[in-house]
Amino acid sequence: MLHHGRFDPSVQRLGKPFRAGGGAARRAGFAVGARRDKGLIPEMPMAMAKRLLIVDDDAHICDFARKVAEGAGFEVVTASTHEDFLDAYDRLDPTVILLDLVMPQVDGIGVLQILADRQSRARVLIMSGYHPELLRSGSRLGQGYDLEMRGTLHKPFGVADPRDALNAVANEEEA
């Protein structure tokens, strides 16, 4: 559970993320490739790919959301700065972006503008620990930029909120 920006592993019992060591992934017909973060994950065909870019300056949030997303079958890359975001966006070509609105230097509103300028078709989930009106305003702004806004998450959150939001977006992609 995240509380005041801190991850307490004793509160949640996250399942082990899938690590491809060959076995099951190769038997299932997936090519096994190096993940851009740590470890290995299977590479999925483009039509089925679930690629998540998490953008947050809080390393605890990034790590927590990464574990939840990997458990839901996403390939995950995290970015904590504007420069990391630009590099990760170009490398990953994300299908989903989980974006914090309040960050130093270039905040989430600035990132929404960048996504609009690039005509991004990634589905966007925004998050913040500030007043819920900030989330509503950010969502409206993203819609005004013609971005694929798909929901909001208010911090602190447990496993269920991001997992359910990511599963809903993934199910939408498969439909």
Q: What tens digit of pLDDT does each residue of 5-17 get?
A: 443 333 333 333 3
45-56 average pLDDT score = 79
Instruction: Give the residue, 114 or 41, on which the prediction is more confident.
Output: 114
Counting beta carbons within 10 angstroms of the beta carbon of residue 90, is it exposed (0 to 12), middle (13 to 18) or buried (19 or more)? exposed
- For residue 172, the model assigns a pLDDT of 87
Please check whether the domain covering 45-174 is classified as CATH 3.20.20.120.
no
Q: Residue 92 above 50 pLDDT?
A: yes
Interval 96-146: pLDDT, tens: 999 999 999 899 999 999 999 999 999 999 999 999 999 999 999 999 999
In the prediction, which pLDDT does 173 show? 66
- Cis peptide, bond prior to residue 156, ω within 30 of zero: yes
Backbone angles phi, psi at 6, to 5 degrees: -115, 140
Domain boundaries, the chain: 15-44, 45-174
Q: How far apart are CA 29 and CA 92, in angstroms?
A: 22
Q: What is the DSSP code (8-state) at residue 121?
A: -
Reduce the DSSP state of residue 20 to 3 states and report it: coil
